[in-house]
Amino acid sequence: LPAPAGLTDTEPVYRAAMATHRPALIKLYADTFAQHRIDALVFPTVPRVAADAGPQSSSVETFGLFIQNTDPGSNAGLPGVQVPVGLGASSRLPVGLELDGPAGSDRRLVSLGMAIERLLGRVPAGR
């Protein structure tokens, strides 16, 4: 990765993440789903309405912001489904609801997502 003094070797950090942190994250999710007997965690897909296209919308900071809710489950290898649930009141841009489930619950998650979509109805096209 680029750094002020040149390039930074990220391989040691990556290896530590894969050897220690990812297994801990996977265990945390598995324990949480089992302990609370839940089929899915439900949360906003992104923490804010989408940014208008422009240089700032593709910055590293913006990217980090927009993946912060979905990245942990993805890093743990969990299945996830995103359901459109409406449009921002002033932006008229889509708003989504994310469902993450235990490992191997892909079909169950799709069923839950489809049930939510039936309850909420079809979301109109945004701007």
DSSP-assigned letters across all residues of 55-68: GGGGSHHHHHHHHT
Among the listed residues 90, 91, 96, the one whose alpha carbon sits nearest the alpha carbon of residue 123: 96
Of residues 19 and 49, more confidence is placed in 19
Contact 45, 70 (CB under 8 A): yes
- pLDDT averaged over every residue in the chain: 89
Tell me the pLDDT tens digit for each residue of 29-83: 999 999 999 999 999 999 887 777 788 777 888 888 999 999 999 999 999 999 9
3 state SS of 86:
strand
32 vs 11: which has the higher pLDDT: 32
Degrees (nearest 5) of the Cα angle 70, 86, 76? 10
Split at pLDDT 50, 70, 90, the class of 3 is: low
Find the mean pLDDT for residues 25-32.
98
pLDDT bucket at 23, cuts 50 / 70 / 90: very high
- Give the model's pLDDT for residue 115: 96
Q: Beta strands of 45-118 (E only): which ranges?
A: 80-87, 94-100
